[in-house]
Amino acid sequence: MKLHVLSASVPNTTAANNLTAVCQLPTAPVYANTGITVAGGTDFDQLSAPTDILLDQRSNNLYIVDADNKRVLKYLLNSEERMIVAGQGYPELKFPQTLSTDNDENLFIVDNYHPDDEDIASNYSVIYWPCNSTDGIVLLNGTGSCYGIYLDNDYNILASAYNLHRVIKWLAPYYNSSVVVAGTGTAGSNSDQLNAPKAIYVDSTNNELYIIDSGNDRLQKWSLNSNSTTFEGGTVAVRGTSPAAVAVDCNGAIYVTDKSEYSIKLYSSIAITGLEGVVLVDTSKSSGHKYYPTSIVLNPKNGDLYVLDKDQDQVKKYVIDGQLNIRNICKRCRCFQVGEITGLS
């Protein structure tokens, strides 16, 4: 049954997660200061310690991992409809952490288990939850905790092994074997090492894997060789001390949430713009209180940013309000700095 379900529709994650070759987003976006609350509040909308969000770009549906309530919610952003899509049937979710999806909106949910008995090791499961189903199927069980997952074109599952200091690929269709794709398995700060990796993001256009290397307070980028299962790693120079989540737009610009500075920062793919670590959203100013942006998703069609505030149990949307005009990028072989970028349009 599992094999039949999984082979019924092979996902095209490249098509789902990327735009066409022509990018419609500004190179230097400016976002509105005030975020719009799209999830969180009272009654059904009440969230409790949400841990992750995901935007299905075809349907414009937003998924929220509502951890303490042991469920996954779906918000239809084109309407006011919302529903519980996982957690009310079998298997019972213990502590859902993160998720991925295919083009049919079948969910792949990471469920962590942290026993009270310290002598019992933590572990995680990946649960396949078909769209519109009341029950899921446990695909695999892993050692330790997992805070990041990605489903590739062949239904292989990339997972961040937090306690094992590496990212592994579970091989479809049986998921009973895996290969290491990043990290050595030993905690460290060398370019080939990871220390407690958490969230991961795959830019399938450029075949690059981004890893929040939490123990080293850095963002790692690994280029995937499509002819093998190995990655080559390197550190992305991000400013701040606590990167928590990452997204990449069709220009190749990197968006990073910084928990320590309560902000979302932009790192332009065009170095000469000087846009390295520019604050796009200061959440402490935009919301009237300091909150910790722990997860982020970018709508590649219009640039909307959805930001998860775990402490306030809310999801906010920030929209593009304009863009910077970058004049005379280089003059006499000298590149302008951030202060020399002028104008809104």
Residue 345 CA to residue 326 CA, distance in Å, equals 11
The predicted model gives 68-77 an average pLDDT of 94
pLDDT exceeds 50 at position 109: yes
Residue 241 banded pLDDT, cuts 50, 70, 90: low
Quick one: pLDDT at residue 205?
84
The partner residues of 339 in beta bridges, in order of sequence, read none
Say if CB 225 and CB 270 are below 8 A apart: no
pLDDT exceeds 90 at position 342: no
The two structure tokens encoding residue 116: 């009270």
CB atoms within 10 A of CB 20: 9
Kindly state the percentage of the chain with pLDDT values over 90.
54
Task: Tell which wins on pLDDT, 127 or 43.
Answer: 127
In angstroms, the Cα distances linking 92 to 127, 136, 138, 322 are 10, 9, 11, 45
The two structure tokens encoding residue 154: 């062949």
pLDDT exceeds 90 at position 118: no
Name the pTM for this structure.
Answer: 0.85
pLDDT exceeds 50 at position 20: no
pLDDT digit string, tens, across residues 189-204 = 998 999 999 999 999 8
Quick one: pLDDT at residue 159?
98
Residue 289 CA to residue 46 CA, distance in Å, equals 19
Quick one: pLDDT at residue 7?
32
The domain ranges of the chain are 2-344
Task: Tell which wins on pLDDT, 115 or 148.
Answer: 148
Cβ-defined contacts of 61-64 (< 8 Å, 24+) = 61/105, 62/38, 62/297, 62/306, 62/315, 63/99, 63/101, 63/107, 64/39, 64/308, 64/315
The predicted model gives 41-58 an average pLDDT of 84
Quick one: pLDDT at residue 94?
94
Give me the chain's average pLDDT, please: 82
pLDDT exceeds 70 at position 25: yes
Residue 46 banded pLDDT, cuts 50, 70, 90: confident
pLDDT exceeds 80 at position 14: no
What is the DSSP code string of 228-244?
SS-EEEEEE---SS-EE
Out of 102-116, 215-229, 331-345, give the one with best mean pLDDT.
102-116
Residue count (the chain): 345
Residue 117 banded pLDDT, cuts 50, 70, 90: low
pLDDT exceeds 80 at position 103: yes
The partner residues of 124 in beta bridges, in order of sequence, read 112, 142
Quick one: pLDDT at residue 271?
57
Task: Tell which wins on pLDDT, 166 or 311.
Answer: 166
The predicted model gives 122-135 an average pLDDT of 96
CATH architecture of 2-344: 6 Propeller (2.120)
pLDDT exceeds 70 at position 59: yes
pLDDT exceeds 50 at position 228: no
pLDDT digit string, tens, across residues 282-327 = 877 655 666 778 999 999 999 999 999 888 899 999 999 998 776 5
Say if CB 20 and CB 272 are below 8 A apart: no
Q: Is the peptide bond before 50 cis (omega within 30 degrees of 0)?
A: no
Kindly state the percentage of the chain with pLDDT values over 70.
77
Quick one: pLDDT at residue 175?
97
DSSP letter assigned to residue 271: G
pLDDT exceeds 50 at position 221: yes
